[in-house]
Amino acid sequence: MKTFVVLMGAPGAGKGTQAKKLEASLGLPQVATGDLFRANLKNETELGKLARTYMDKGELVPDEVTVAMVRDRLSQPDCVHGAILDGFPRTTAQAKALDELLNEFSAKIAIVPFIDVSQDVLVERLAKRAEIEGRADDNEETIRVRMEVYQSETAPLLAYYDEKGLLVKINGEQSIHQVTEDLTEVVQEVM
């Protein structure tokens, strides 16, 4: 049976870094929605063109389009045993759509690790990352707005997955190495 890991955490929690490390240790591909969007836009796929029509108007891309991109990606040969989902789902509606999609694939979510980091540490990390990468749009005010959006839209997923008995908290304020060790340990217990 295909098995999926839904990696959760606020922007700056280290999801991308940890997903790459899990990918290497588990042999499951990292499926990041940001990468999916960029690939579909760059390759001008039908889904990419559809997404662009919303993005060009400054609107959010509807869940159906995002879910269709995820469905397409999860049907690729490298996902035959499952994947590590990074950045999807972002809302409870997307989580329910993912449940339906995984039923189609006769698959399940094995675990939902949540990399828990306090807001002050997240703001500090994102500000440092913005400075290193030269991202002028990531100032403290913008970062705090992103945190508010995360809290209102994505944080309810924690309760959704906790009720299903899938959520496991990982202390994301430890060293990268220690977070990797803790994360790998909890994931391998259920795989």
Annotated active-site positions, please? Answer: 15, 90, 129, 135, 146
Q: What is the 3-state secondary structure (H, E, C) of 114-133?
A: EEECCHHHHHHHHHHHHHHH
Tell me the backbone φ, ψ of residue 94, rounded to 5 degrees. Answer: -65, -35
**∠106-63-138 over CA atoms, to 5°?**
120
Answer for the pair 90, 139: CB distance below 8 angstroms, yes or no: no
Environment class of 15 (CB within 10 Å of its CB; exposed 0-12, middle 13-18, buried 19+): buried
The verdict on whether omega for the bond into residue 89 sits within 30 degrees of 0, i.e. cis, is: yes
Quote helix, strand, coil % in the chain, to nearest 5: 60, 15, 25
Coil, strand, or helix at residue 91? coil
